Amino acid sequence: MGREPANLNINDEKNRNAALRPRKLNEVIGQREVTQRLSIAVNAAKKLKEPLGHILFDGPPGLGKTTFATVLPNELGTSLQMTSGPALSKPADLLPFLTNLEEGSILFIDEIHRMPRVVEEFIYPAMEDFRIDIILGEGLNARTISMNLKRFTLIGATTRSGMLSGPMRDRFKMHEHLEFYSVEELSQIVRVNAKKLEVGITDEAAFELARRCRGTPRIANARLWWVRNFAHSEGDGNITIDIAKRALDMQAVDSEGLDKQDRRYLETLIQVFDGGPTGVEAIAATMNLPADTLSDEVEPFLLREQFVIRSPRGRIATPKAFELLGKKPKPEKPPERGLFD
């Protein structure tokens, strides 16, 4: 019989995600090259007795940017402060974080590309010289006070690194891009996290769940929670291949890992726009969704799995997408003949 976990706080999504995250670099599954480079940087920082260099993580959502940011303080034995770009509307919003930093501690800014330019420029001297310049007063009576900070590490995470300014990007000592995970890696993550949740799962069920998770650990964890609940409600608490398939089918997650929103995107592109080419703004307007949601959350997987391609003229559905929806690709237009052909 499956058992309820005795020591995990699972009352909300934040606690659930934290409970399933690895705590050390050697517990991280996947992203092997990134993990190796970070291990070298951590070992060097310990031997040199200096802070870790500033690090920028980029990649689609759910691939482990926050996980790495929470693992590194555990490796270094230091503290972590967390905030996000949208929460820092003015330099004063950043002051409590910078002034409360300890020697060698880590400041993590998620979605750092959404930080206003005035805040970005304010943090430049903090990153380079570990100091900040505070302006007191206005006009002729204004004066600048320079405040020294403890040496710290800034870790930034972004889903859109191209939106970062060049000067900001250049101030990071390490720039790590996170890739989608293989089915084998996700299967291993599912088995490890099922053990943390004290629920039994067969290898076949773990593989089935992994191949429907879009190459993304965050989605794998979310679907594991759903399958676990389904197993307790409709079975004996253990996750078998039959339980996994039934649970995921009920969530409308198909064998390719596409969910309702993915299929709706493809249906819009094929049925409304005749397979494209068309711009993401037009698709987003038709679906009544923000264009950023499509470009950041939906399109990366569809592009990777070759359901959609990007061209200078817009998005185009591939024959694979037409086949998925049971549609016939539109016939290619013959090239236009010139006047003297």
How many Cα atoms within 13 Å fall on the side-chain side of residue 336?
2
Segment 98-129, tens digit of pLDDT: 988 889 899 999 999 999 999 998 899 999 88
The span from the CA of 339 to the CA of 228, in Å, is: 67
pLDDT of res. 3: 41
Options 21, 65, 171, 315, the catalytic residue: 65
**Which pLDDT band holds residue 144 (cuts at 50, 70, 90)?**
confident
Q: Which of 21, 35, 83, 110 is catalytic?
A: 110
- The reported pLDDT for the residue numbered 202 is 93
Q: Identify the pLDDT of residue 189.
A: 94
Contact 38, 68 (CB under 8 A): yes
- All CATH 1.10.8.60 domain ranges of the chain, comma separated, are 183-250
Bridge partners of 143? 136
How far apart are alpha carbons 135 and 143 in whole angstroms?
6
Secondary structure (DSSP) of 57-83: EESSTTSSHHHHHHHHHHHHT--EEEE
Residue ranges of the chain that CATH labels 3.40.50.300:
31-177
The answer to whether residue 268 is catalytic is no
Which entry of 16, 21, 58, 66 is annotated as an active-site residue?
A: 66
pLDDT attached to residue 132: 84
DSSP letters spanning 175-220 = EEEPPPPPHHHHHHHHHHHHHHTT--B-HHHHHHHHHTSTT-HHHH
Measure the CA–CA gap between 197 and 15, rounded to whole angstroms. Answer: 13
Residue 4 pLDDT level (bands cut at 50, 70, 90):
very low
pTM: 0.79
Query: What is the CATH class of 260-324?
Result: mainly alpha
Cα–Cα dist 231/156, whole Å: 38
When pLDDT is averaged across residues 69-88 and rounded to a whole number, the result is: 92
Domain 183-250 falls in which CATH fold? Helicase, Ruva Protein; domain 3 (1.10.8)
Mean pLDDT of 289-306: 86
Instruction: Say yes or no to pLDDT of 177 above 90.
Output: yes
Phi and psi at residue 146, in whole multiples of 5°?
Answer: -100, 125
Predicted pLDDT of residue 42? 94
169 is a catalytic site residue: no
Report the C-alpha gap between 82 and 105 in whole angstroms: 11
Give residue 57's pLDDT. 95
Q: Mark whether 110 is an active-site residue.
A: yes
Q: Given this model, what pLDDT does residue 140 score?
A: 65
Q: Which of the residues 218, 228, 245, 315 is marked catalytic?
A: 218
**Active-site residue (options: 159, 268, 278, 318):** 159
Numbered ranges of CATH 1.10.10.10 in the chain? 260-324
Query: Is 65 labeled as catalytic in the residue annotation?
Result: yes
Instruction: State the CATH class of domain 31-177.
Output: alpha beta
pLDDT bucket at 5, cuts 50 / 70 / 90 = very low
Q: Is 66 an active-site residue?
A: yes
Task: Encode pLDDT of 204-232 as tens digits.
Answer: 999 999 999 888 999 999 999 999 999 99
